[in-house]
Structure 1
Amino acid sequence: MRLLIVGTLGGQLAVASRIVMERGATVTHADSIDVAMKSLRSGRGADLVMIDVGLDIADLIRRLETEMIHLPVVACGVASDARAAVAAIRAGAKEYIPLPPDPDLIAAVLAAVAEDGRELVVRDEAMARVVRLADQVAVSDASIMITGESGTGKEVLARHVHRKSHRSGKPFIAVNCAAIPEALLESELFGHEKGAFTGAVARRIGKFEEADGGTLLLDEISEMDLRLQAKLLRAIQERIIDRVGGTRPVPVDIRILATSNRNMAEEVRKGTFREDLLYRLNVVNLKIPPLRDRPADVQALAEHFLDRYAKANGVKNRPLDPEARRELTRARWPGNVRELENCMHRAVLLAIGDTIGVEAIRTPDGQRLDEAHGEGRPPLSRDPAVRHAAETAEAVTRALVGRTVADVERELILETLGSTLGNRTHAANILGISIRTLRNKLKEYGDDGHPIPPPGGGVEAA
């Protein structure tokens, strides 16, 4: 994590600086807001700004917004200066840290504001396979596409890849392509020269240059405009960029990671994503399974979040009772890890007693989790065979949630074809489609790189 400290506060911020460096952060100092802005424009970058509450925080935040620099700001001041603390929060600061600095408080703020405390927690074999592949390819410079539903932990895995790479000592820069307006994303990525457009009051180094020597994560890249995709393709191929309004190319040395919650092959077919760019980015694909397909991870992550939020809220860390564990595993978690994290935070606050029971595990609207996913479902039979069949059917249905119709259809067709040992006619009869439709589907799947069972058994690419 990169921290920019603005001001002096008679040496108190220097103490805070030492604390965050001991926690693994890199620190840059600026005596004034002007110097801080020059540092940010120059490409030195920061993940968090910590500023003396006596400085003009409203002016800093206004200048950051004007120059489209997106950073959280934390104010610091002597503990008795309550009026200044309130003014700082009203001006737009995310948090206020009283000084002299408390190491645990600073660590908590850094984790909460900069989201630097996210860890890769893996117990389920389905996710472990993905992590093993990530570890295998991390040492290379190959571009990686990380796909999966929203909230599955794509950025967490990307940071893991960076930590395992030979670039780990260099910057890891993440850009959310869906969160930045289309008109501003080009400048955010490639930077701009003074006067390139209204509001470009000085030269600004973009994320490509800021990540030089390290890793650039293009989060939700499927949201990027086609015109900008062309410029990105050139930057990846040539390892040079052009600042907006610039007159000469700038060389860069970075590794590209990209994420998406969409089916990228489908985006290419729809014409919303360039096929040649996908080939450049998708040298290796890491597909993260949804949380509902990782039951062992549900338990491990739940315990991890309970421990984190018990510490953050100053309460005793209590274990989950057996019923609560069962309900967590049965839940579908459409919001995946992000939803589970929020749910465990609520449970820490709502639980009463020595354990966390199912009554404390609630949905965002306050409904108990066991009641929410049990609505409209008849009670399970006491007959073990019937109960097992019902639970199996429910698990199969749950596995389909969040997948596209095209994905499910492809899997059904290929599984049916495999069961007929490649006999197209029998498979078409079972599926209730014409042999021509089946052949067209198989050609489409083969063109996308899926293995197709040939007539007579075996596997080959169609």
Structure 2
Amino acid sequence: MRLLIVGSLEGHLTTAGKIALARGAKVAHVDDGDAAMTALRAGQGADLLLVDMRMDIARLIDTMKAERIHAPVVACGLGNDAASAVKAIKAGAKEYLPLPPNAELIAAVLEAVSEESHALIHSDPSMLRTLKLADQIAPSDASVLITGESGTGKEVMARYIHRKSRRSGQKFISVNCAAIPENLLESELFGHEKGAFTGAVARRIGKFEEASGGTLLLDEISEMDPRLQAKLLRAIQEREIDRLGSTTPVKVDIRLIATSNRDLEAEVRRGTFREDLYYRLNVVNLMLPPLRERPTDIALLAQHFAKKYAESNALPERPLTPAALDKLRRHGWRGNVRELENTMHRAVLIAGPDSIDQDALILTGGETASYTAPAPSAPVQAPATQPTDVPSMGGAGTGNLVGRTVADVERDLIIDTLKHTLGNRTHAATILGISIRTLRNKLKLYSDDGIAVPPPGDGERAFG
């Protein structure tokens, strides 16, 4: 855990830093928001920022978003002032921490931030086999390719490997290749010098440099442009990178992990992914099974998420009824763990006071009738046919499509699929069989034409 303290608050934040240090966090301190941005641009990195309420928190958060620097901000102020807490949350802070600091409260905040990205809940034999292999290869520096459907927990697995590695005390840096526009991804990875391009107002250390000594995760690497793949291959082979606008190579020492929800061998055959890069990445391949092939994990994960969202919404923890658990086991879970998490979040909010019954489980698109939970002794298999609740665009046959243009039908299919995935772009692209880049381009065209597009889903970043 890397903690960056911004401000002083009459020495109370220094005391908070000492408490966090005693709890195992690595602590750095800067005087104001500008100094915080300078430190973050220089690759210092942070998993959490504790910020003095007297600072311009909204400006700091907006600047971080504009420069694609992701870290939760917790505002700190003197006394338990409700008005200050509301002001901080409205400014974009994740939490408000009253000072003078309470050791247990600070420990809880650190634990909550750590748990949010590190939880790996499992009991099914298929996951146990995968974790056994992960444990075997974690101590090495070998590159790892983690594959699996969207929402299976690929980023969570990457963090697990990092924590089990010899680099666990160093940085873990994650880059979502699908979420960053193509023209910005090169700068994000390799950094740039001031003036390297329009908008480069200061030198920016890239993720390769920031992760040096630790682990770099390239999430959804299959979405990377082939031109940039060539530069990435050189960085992996030579262990050095060139910042944009610089002529001096920079040596880096990283352990590389990549994830993909696509069949990279098929992408190589299509010519959309470099074969030499594929073999560089695929030293070890960890295939994460979909949730439908982890039947004994469904109840365990559901109970975990029920407890998590009860606590975060200040609601009593309630058990799931047998009928609710049966309904969960019978669902197909095309969105995997991410879909289950969103389902349980909704259920916690609308369930009765004593338990979470099946009526509180609003399953995306309804239950998957074609999926039947296997008997314990039988091999687990995915549904052989397309689930019945995929949008059908008007029923069997093509009668309801006659008279409509292909563009209109395609637009309705994309919008309906996005609604089905609760706005999750990556999951929708997988269902539609198109790249996330193609999906984003089409959604931009629809928005420009004044067509309502579902906003990104709440759990888009929770699992890779």
> So what's the TM-score if we normalise by structure 2?
0.75
SS of alignment partner, residue 246 of structure 2: coil
Equivalent residue, structure 1, for 2:229:
229
Q: Distance in 2 between matches of 1:187 and 1:115?
A: 30
Q: Distance in 1 between matches of 2:31 and 2:294?
A: 49
Greater shift, 37-46 or 159-168, is seen at 37-46
Q: Distance in 2 between matches of 1:348 and 1:388?
A: 28
Q: Which is greater in Rg?
A: 1
Whichever residue aligns with residue 172 of structure 1, its letter is F
Contact 1:6 1:31 in 2 (8 A): yes
Equivalent residue, structure 1, for 2:363:
363
Greater shift, 101-110 or 249-258, is seen at 101-110
State the Cα distance separating 1:82 from its structure 2 match.
Answer: 5.1
Distance 1:375 1:140, change over 3 A: closer
SS of alignment partner, residue 202 of structure 1: coil
Deviations along 1:257-284, whole A, 9 cap, x unmatched?
A: 0001111111112211111101000111
SS of alignment partner, residue 50 of structure 2: strand
Distance 1:305 1:197, change over 3 A: same
Report the number of matched residues. 385
Equivalent residue, structure 2, for 1:38:
38
Q: Of 376, 383, 398, which residue of structure 1 is paired with 2:383?
A: 398
Whichever residue aligns with residue 330 of structure 1, its letter is R
Equivalent residue, structure 1, for 2:447:
none
Distance 1:278 1:61, change over 3 A: same
Q: Distance in 2 between matches of 1:7 and 1:91?
A: 17
Q: Distance in 1 between matches of 2:292 and 2:68?
A: 38
Query: What aligned pairs does 1:42-441 form with structure 2 within 5 A after superposition?
Result: 42-65=42-65, 67-79=67-79, 84-101=84-101, 106=106, 116-363=116-363, 372-373=366-367, 398=383
Q: Distance in 2 between matches of 1:83 and 1:388?
A: 54
Q: Distance in 1 between matches of 2:24 and 2:121?
A: 20
Deviations along 1:82-108, whole A, 9 cap, x unmatched?
A: 555555444443443333445565566
Q: Distance in 2 between matches of 1:26 and 1:270?
A: 45
Contact 1:293 1:399 in 2 (8 A): no
Greater shift, 124-133 or 319-328, is seen at 319-328
Whichever residue aligns with residue 53 of structure 1, its letter is M
SS of alignment partner, residue 256 of structure 2: strand
Matched-pair identity in %: 63
State the Cα distance separating 1:109 from its structure 2 match.
Answer: 5.2
Unaligned runs of 5+ in 1: 366-371, 381-386, 403-462
Q: Distance in 1 between matches of 2:254 and 2:41?
A: 19
Contact 2:118 2:159 in 1 (8 A): no
Q: Distance in 2 between matches of 1:107 and 1:362?
A: 35
RMSD: 2.9
Name which structure has the greater RCO, CA cutoff 8 Å, separation 6+: 2
Contact 1:72 1:114 in 2 (8 A): no
Whichever residue aligns with residue 54 of structure 2, its letter is G
Contact 2:117 2:156 in 1 (8 A): no
SS of alignment partner, residue 118 of structure 2: coil
Whichever residue aligns with residue 149 of structure 1, its letter is E
Q: Distance in 1 between matches of 2:306 and 2:268?
A: 41
Deviations along 1:125-161, whole A, 9 cap, x unmatched?
A: 1111111111111111110100111110001111111
Whichever residue aligns with residue 16 of structure 1, its letter is A
Q: Distance in 2 between matches of 1:306 and 1:67?
A: 34
Q: Distance in 2 between matches of 1:80 and 1:221?
A: 45
Greater shift, 149-158 or 355-364, is seen at 355-364
Q: Distance in 1 between matches of 2:121 and 2:5?
A: 31
Contact 1:110 1:116 in 2 (8 A): no
State the Cα distance separating 1:199 from its structure 2 match.
Answer: 2.3
Unaligned runs of 5+ in 2: 388-464
Q: Distance in 2 between matches of 1:388 and 1:153?
A: 23
Q: Distance in 1 between matches of 2:39 and 2:93?
A: 19
Q: Distance in 2 between matches of 1:345 and 1:101?
A: 31
Q: Distance in 2 between matches of 1:401 and 1:163?
A: 38
Contact 1:75 1:97 in 2 (8 A): yes
Q: Distance in 2 between matches of 1:189 and 1:19?
A: 34
Distance 1:118 1:267, change over 3 A: same
Contact 1:53 1:85 in 2 (8 A): no
Greater shift, 210-219 or 314-323, is seen at 314-323
State the Cα distance separating 1:52 from its structure 2 match.
Answer: 1.0
Q: Distance in 2 between matches of 1:400 and 1:277?
A: 34
State the Cα distance separating 1:208 from its structure 2 match.
Answer: 0.7
Whichever residue aligns with residue 342 of structure 1, its letter is N
Distance 1:107 1:180, change over 3 A: farther
Equivalent residue, structure 2, for 1:415:
none
State the Cα distance separating 1:114 from its structure 2 match.
Answer: 7.0
Whichever residue aligns with residue 373 of structure 1, its letter is E
Q: Distance in 1 between matches of 2:374 and 2:89?
A: 55
SS of alignment partner, residue 398 of structure 1: coil
SS of alignment partner, residue 272 of structure 2: coil
SS of alignment partner, residue 328 of structure 1: helix
Distance 1:289 1:67, change over 3 A: closer
Equivalent residue, structure 1, for 2:442:
none
Contact 1:67 1:199 in 2 (8 A): no
Contact 1:111 1:117 in 2 (8 A): no
Q: Distance in 2 between matches of 1:36 and 1:397?
A: 48
Contact 1:241 1:250 in 2 (8 A): yes
Q: Distance in 2 between matches of 1:258 and 1:336?
A: 20
State the Cα distance separating 1:110 from its structure 2 match.
Answer: 5.1
SS of alignment partner, residue 272 of structure 1: coil
